[in-house]
Structure 1
Amino acid sequence: MTFWSRPFARLASALAAVVLAAGLAVAYEVEPMRLILDLGSNRTSTVISITNTRDTRLPVEIVMKRRIVNADGSQEFVAADEDFSVFPPLALIEPGESQAVRLSYIGDPALADSRAYVAEVQEVPVSQPGFTGVVFAYNFGVAVYLRAADAEADVSVGEIRRDETGLYFQVINDGSDFAMLTDMAVRIQIGPDSVRLEPAQLGELIENPIIPPHATRDFHLPIADLPDGEIRISLE
């Protein structure tokens, strides 16, 4: 096993443990989970579907939030009621039935940069008469990307460093559209040796791949035991 493959083997074992530990059914479904609106083509409206797979009524509320991604990958969510019209904003879905919800962008039609939002489907907890236990409510977040007219991403690699925990590098987006690191491959070269990380591998290694317009993102790859030598990283 090479120094490149050892960290991936450990990571695969950890991911398998997480999958085996998961399995709690939330008993309702939302689709799709990712949407793209495009101001350039006047595609500013879309529909999500909420299906109640329970045997009781499902009350939900749909709230739009602006999604702000920081350099370290952490996120902030800010109310975006003025940017979207949601119909219906509230629904009571019967068992086995589905509810279509229309999301329409009504904000600035001349945005310079693309934006990211989340359509948060919030279950409204309901306590039954005489019930004294804990009521669980489940929320879904649908990723909504609003593409500015003629927006394009323009990414490059910035600072590169390493320590005992792995490899750190910056990706700079000088463009007006979002970029996703998991839509690219990353080639790491140390001396004469190199490895190409495919998008699927990056998806396992990186929790948040989003690179916002006109922003810099910091990424960490938990690849230990790297050989000595100058490190070069390129995006392919």
Structure 2
Amino acid sequence: MKYIISFLFFVISYSVFAFEVRPMVSEIKPSGSQSQQTMRVYNSTKDPLTIEIEAYDLSIDSDGQEKLAINDEDFLIIPITSIVQPGKSQSIIVRYIGDPVLSSSKAYRIAINQIPLTLDPSSSSGVTMAMNFHTLLNVVPENAEANVSIKGKKQVSKGVWSVDLENTGNKFIRLTQSKWKIHNKDEEFVLEGKELSQSLSGKIVLPNSKSTVLVRVPPQFNASDSDLEVTL
């Protein structure tokens, strides 16, 4: 038991004191001076941190599940690998060099991957631990706008709805920045901000796409006799 407790303590300690990445969400333009983002990696550990950076195309299926595909062409990343000393930070420039004329926004994950650290070099088990951050980066053309509509909803279980959303606009939707208003004949309830973020199974709806998300609602609201309004 003491070994399990020690391991759990190590995992918790490691996650608390490992490196940080900022910002985790960003938006840039497809061309011009606003077509790049500077990210910063902070090493709050006591050991040198070796990282590598990769870009991925982000797509989302109709069930809200993310799909990632490596993209080696749309970004110039400087540096692409780095060693960050203890207590120091490293700036990373991510510049978009893909198609400068976009009809709708494009979503990417910029991955900051720690090159695995061997916990015990003398051990033959080869146990390693590493942390990876997948930041969200959207390339958005001028005057792009999102447009959300609710195509349907149903009760999944008590306090949980399944909601079908459609974005007919040419800009992505961050659902965590929207407002969900639920009301029946007796009362009204509003979900937004942190509470909404914690209640949703999906966070993004891409341009010209549909997505089904689960949302936790107060148990007194039933999908069949309640109205739902989502505003951006």
User: TM-score interval w.r.t. the shorter chain?
Assistant: 0.7 to 0.9
Deviation at 1:176? 0.2
Are the counterparts in 2 of residues 154 and 174 from structure 1 also a CA contact under 8 Å? yes
> Is 1:233 matched with 2:225?
no
Identity of aligned residues (%): 24
The amino acid that maps onto 1:154 is: N
Are the counterparts in 2 of residues 191 and 229 from structure 1 also a CA contact under 8 Å? no
> Is 1:130 matched with 2:122?
yes
TM-score (norm 2): 0.83
| Structure 1 residues 60 and 163: CA distance shift in structure 2, 3 A | closer
Deviation at 1:122? 0.9
Query: Which secondary structure does the structure 2 equivalent of 1:149 belong to?
Result: coil
Q: Deviations over 1:172-215 (max 9, x none)?
A: 11000011222121112223533222333211101322111001
What corresponds to 1:162 in structure 2?
Answer: 155
Query: Which secondary structure does the structure 2 equivalent of 1:203 belong to?
Result: helix
Are the counterparts in 2 of residues 111 and 149 from structure 1 also a CA contact under 8 Å? no
Is there any run of 5+ residues in structure 2 with no aligned partner, and where?
A: 1-10
Number of paired residues? 216
Query: Which secondary structure does the structure 1 equivalent of 2:194 belong to?
Result: helix
Equivalent of 2:95 in 96, 104, 110: 104
What corresponds to 1:4 in structure 2?
Answer: none
Distance in 2 of aligned mates of 1:33 and 1:229? 37
Is there any run of 5+ residues in structure 1 with no aligned partner, and where?
A: 1-20
TM-score (norm 1): 0.82
| Structure 1 residues 61 and 82: CA distance shift in structure 2, 3 A | same
What corresponds to 2:22 in structure 1?
Answer: 31
Are the counterparts in 2 of residues 40 and 149 from structure 1 also a CA contact under 8 Å? no
Query: Which secondary structure does the structure 2 equivalent of 1:200 belong to?
Result: helix
Deviation at 1:40? 6.8
Distance in 1 of aligned mates of 2:193 and 2:121? 50
> Is 1:121 matched with 2:116?
no
| Structure 1 residues 98 and 22: CA distance shift in structure 2, 3 A | closer
Query: Which secondary structure does the structure 1 equivalent of 2:196 belong to?
Result: helix
Are the counterparts in 2 of residues 65 and 80 from structure 1 also a CA contact under 8 Å? yes
Deviation at 1:38? 1.9
- Measured on the aligned residues, the alpha-carbon RMSD in Å equals 2.4
Q: Indicate the larger mover: 131-140 or 44-53.
A: 131-140
Equivalent of 1:142 in 128, 135, 142: 135
Deviation at 1:227? 5.3
| Structure 1 residues 163 and 25: CA distance shift in structure 2, 3 A | closer
| Structure 1 residues 104 and 193: CA distance shift in structure 2, 3 A | same
Distance in 2 of aligned mates of 1:63 and 1:103? 10
